[in-house]
Chains A and B, each alone.
Chain A
Amino acid sequence: MLPTELTTLQVFHGLDEPDAARICEGLLDREFSPGESVLTEGDDTQALWLILSGECIVSRNSEQGERILAVLNAGDVFGEMSFVRNAPHSASIIAATPLKVCCYKREEFLTFAAERPEAGYMIATNIACVLAERLRRMDTWVCDMFERPKTLDDSGSRDEWQNFRSAVYTNWDF
Chain B
Amino acid sequence: MSAYESASHYFQTAAGVMDLSPNMQKLLLTPEREVKVQVAMKMDNGDIATFVGFRMQHNSARGPMKGGLRFHHEVDADEVLALASLMTWKTAVVDIPYGGAKGGISVDPRSLSGNELELMTRKFVDELQDVIGPDKDIPAPDMGTNAQVMAWIVNQYEKFHGFNPAIVTGKPLELHGADGREEATGRGVGLLTEALLGKFDRTASESTIAIQGFGNVGSWAADYLHSAGARVVAISDISGAFYDSKGIHIPAAIAYVREHGTLKGFETEKMITNEELLELEVDVLIPAALGGVLTKENAGNVRASYIVEAANGPVDPEADDILQSKEIIVLPDILANAGGVTVSYFEWVQNQQYFKWDLDRTRNELSKKLTAAFDKMWSIATEKHISLRSAAYLIGIGRVGRATVLAGI
Contacts and interface: CB of A to CB of B under 8 A. Distances in A.
Interface string B1-41: 00000000000000000111101100000000000000000
Interface stretch (B48-56, B225-233, B326-334, B397-405): B397-405
A172 B383 CA distance: 10
The DSSP consensus for interface residues of chain B is: helix
Nearest to B401: A168
A160 B376 CA distance: 28
A174 B399 contact: yes
Nearest to A162: B405
Interface residues of B, number: 15
Contacts of B19: 167
A173 B394 CA distance: 10
Given A174-B376, A174-B402, A164 B395 contact: no
Which of B376, B394, B395, B398 has the most CB atoms of chain A within a 10 A radius of its CB? Answer: B398
A169 B402 contact: yes
A160 B23 contact: yes
A172 B405 contact: no
A164 B19 CA distance: 9
Given A172-B394, A174-B376, A174-B395, A167 B402 contact: no
A167 B402 CA distance: 9
B405 A168 contact: yes
Nearest to A173: B380
Contacts of B20: 164, 167
12 contacts: A164-B21, A164-B401, A165-B405, A167-B20, A167-B24, A167-B401, A168-B18, A169-B402, A169-B405, A172-B380, A172-B398, A173-B380
Given A167-B19, A167-B24, A174-B402, 13 more contacts: A160-B23, A163-B24, A164-B20, A164-B24, A167-B20, A168-B18, A168-B405, A169-B405, A172-B18, A172-B394, A172-B398, A173-B380, A174-B398
Interface of A: 160-161, 163-165, 167-169, 171-174
